[in-house]
Amino acid sequence: MSFRNQIPNIITPKSLPQLPVKQLAFGKLSEYHFLEKEESLLRITLQFECGKIHESKLGLNEACVQLLLSGNEKMSAHSIQEKLDQFGAFIELEGGLRSSYIQVFCLKEYAEKVLDILAEVLDTLSFVEDEIRIYKNRVQENLKVKEQKTSFLAKRAFKGHIFGTNTVYGSSILSTDIESINQSDLIEHFNTKFKHSLFRIFTNTYIPEHQLKSLEKFSRETIATPFTWNGIYPEQHEIHLPKADAVQATLISGFISAGRKEETYPARSFLSTVLGGYFGSRLMKNIREEKGFTYGIHSAYTNYPDLALFQISSDVKNEVRDEALAEIRKEIKRLQTELIDNSELETVRNYMLGSLQRAFDGSLNLMDRYKTLLDLGLPMNYFQEYVDSILELNANYLQEIASIEFDAKRFYTVVAGNFDTA
């Protein structure tokens, strides 16, 4: 018998590394968090407590954030980019629901110079008309491209339907929203909401506080009130979006659920992994590997501080969309009526714990996990407790949770595709 018949022994990774993060006060009400690790590449994340929830017009915060480096009458956007590029810096701008971010990647040796440029740019930002016009034009054109994709249409419709298009969680920026944004809106939003809302600075390696000095004037002056969703659930459970020339149909099915703080979360995320959370999941096996309906199908919880959104999504052959939906329902039913066998329990458990270990590897990942804890309001030992809970899960308990969580009545479904074909 070949040595190849002997399956190698394995261990289950049960403990996560500590998060070696130090926190210092910054300005009056802000914080500087850094990872105690030597790195030559610096990533610095500036979190501003200003997001979609603070805007007076849809799309305004996003526009404001994307125009942060657009300069003023004397200092053009081009000259700003030139200066930042001169030090090899990459900058990412991201407008979020509750917060917005400026993320800088550069060599550590250039940190102070890059931050000084950034501070000057923010301090003298005037929202030049030309830059606003170019931005609006570009976003509107790019939106037209996205609107060609069934996946984009389905995502937008699902979010809008389940949360309500008039809520912060459910609304999407349309071309008309972009059109209505003007210079005075931007100036007002920036000056009154954004400019003094820097509340956390994160770095993946230590840089001395004096190098951050120029950012102090943006540190927050007040603490924002927490925001929660108080929406109403819609009555209609399935909606169809026709797209005549589509070769594939996008399916999204899911519901609003409790967030990470709630005690059944480890069981729920385990069930989601069994269903569609990894390459060997039941949906991947059934719909991709056995039937060849799709290139991929996934399920996951997206977590917010006050809730989570559970979604199953896939792009499938147009003509099999109903069959695919029926198979999804069948797989959900199985979770509620059959016990997960030991082998699958072990596979999913070890896979999840391995994923967590990978998510704790390297300075960027460590800082991202730490930031997640702060964003979702979770305790510092949360991830280790999560691991401990995963290790304790058993098949009976999982079946019980599946029956409650995946109750058919909770699901909403959007299908975007070509309904002219059979």
List the interface residues with other proteins, window 217-256 (CB under 8 A): 245-248
- Could you tell me the smallest distance in angstroms from the CB atom of residue 198 to other proteins? 23
Q: Which is nearer to other proteins, 234 or 296 (CB)?
A: 296
Residues 6+ apart with CB under 8 A from 412: 158, 161, 162, 234, 237, 238, 253, 254, 255
CA–CA distance, 316 with 314 (Å, rounded to integer): 6
The answer to whether 11 contacts other proteins (rule: CB under 8 A) is: yes
* Ranges of H-type helices in 67-197: 77-86, 111-123, 129-146, 150-163, 175-180, 183-189
- Could you tell me the smallest distance in angstroms from the CB atom of residue 229 to other proteins? 32
Residues 400-419 that bind other proteins (CB under 8 A): none
**Pick from 5, 225, 228, 230: which binds other proteins (CB under 8 A)?**
5
**Pick from 64, 348, 401, 415: which binds other proteins (CB under 8 A)?**
348
**Pick from 29, 66, 93, 105: which binds other proteins (CB under 8 A)?**
105
Residue by residue, DSSP assigns 378-410 as --TTHHHHHHHHHHH--HHHHHHHHHHHT-GGG
**Pick from 346, 388, 400, 407: which binds other proteins (CB under 8 A)?**
346
* Structure-token pair, residue 268: 């729920």
Stretch that binds other proteins, among 56-64, 138-146, 160-168, 395-403 (CB under 8 A): 138-146
Q: Which of 35, 373, 88 is nearest to 201 (CA)?
A: 35
- Could you tell me the smallest distance in angstroms from the CB atom of residue 346 to other proteins? 6
CA–CA distance, 210 with 208 (Å, rounded to integer): 6
**Site size for other proteins (CB under 8 A):** 73
The answer to whether 10 contacts other proteins (rule: CB under 8 A) is: yes
**Pick from 363, 370, 383, 386: which binds other proteins (CB under 8 A)?**
363
DSSP category for residue 17 = P
Q: Are 405 and 308 in contact, with CB atoms under 8 Å apart?
A: no
Q: Which is nearer to other proteins, 13 or 234 (CB)?
A: 13
The answer to whether 150 contacts other proteins (rule: CB under 8 A) is: yes
**Pick from 357, 372, 389, 399: which binds other proteins (CB under 8 A)?**
357
Residues 38-67 that bind other proteins (CB under 8 A): 39-41
Site string for other proteins, 267-296 (x = CB under 8 A): -----------xxx-------xxxxxxxx-
Provide the pairing of β-strand 198-203 with 30-35.
parallel
- Could you tell me the smallest distance in angstroms from the CB atom of residue 212 to other proteins? 20
**Percent helix / strand / coil, the chain, rounded to 5:** 45, 20, 35
In degrees and rounded to multiples of 5, residue 229 shows phi and psi of -85, 130
**Pick from 19, 29, 119, 134: which binds other proteins (CB under 8 A)?**
134
- Could you tell me the smallest distance in angstroms from the CB atom of residue 125 to other proteins? 16
DSSP category for residue 76 = B
The answer to whether 88 contacts other proteins (rule: CB under 8 A) is: yes
The answer to whether 353 contacts other proteins (rule: CB under 8 A) is: yes
The answer to whether 129 contacts other proteins (rule: CB under 8 A) is: no
Stretch that binds other proteins, among 60-68, 217-225, 256-264, 352-360 (CB under 8 A): 352-360
CA–CA distance, 46 with 363 (Å, rounded to integer): 17
Q: How many helices (H) and strands (E) does the chain have?
A: 14, 11
Sign of CA dihedral 288, 293, 296, 301: negative
- Could you tell me the smallest distance in angstroms from the CB atom of residue 241 to other proteins? 14
The secondary element (H helix, E strand) that includes residue 94 is: strand 90-95
Strand partners, 93: 102
Residues 6+ apart with CB under 8 A from 137: none
The answer to whether 351 contacts other proteins (rule: CB under 8 A) is: yes
Q: Which is nearer to other proteins, 221 or 346 (CB)?
A: 346
Q: Which is nearer to other proteins, 212 or 352 (CB)?
A: 352
Residue by residue, DSSP assigns 190-227 as IIIIITT-EEEEEESS---GGGGGGGGGGB-SS-PPP-
* Structure-token pair, residue 89: 């810096």
Residues 314-333 that bind other proteins (CB under 8 A): 315-317
Q: Which is nearer to other proteins, 198 or 207 (CB)?
A: 207
**Pick from 22, 24, 56, 82: which binds other proteins (CB under 8 A)?**
82
- Could you tell me the smallest distance in angstroms from the CB atom of residue 216 to other proteins? 26
Q: Which is nearer to other proteins, 48 or 293 (CB)?
A: 293
Q: Which of 392, 406, 387, 410 is nearest to 268 (CA)?
A: 406
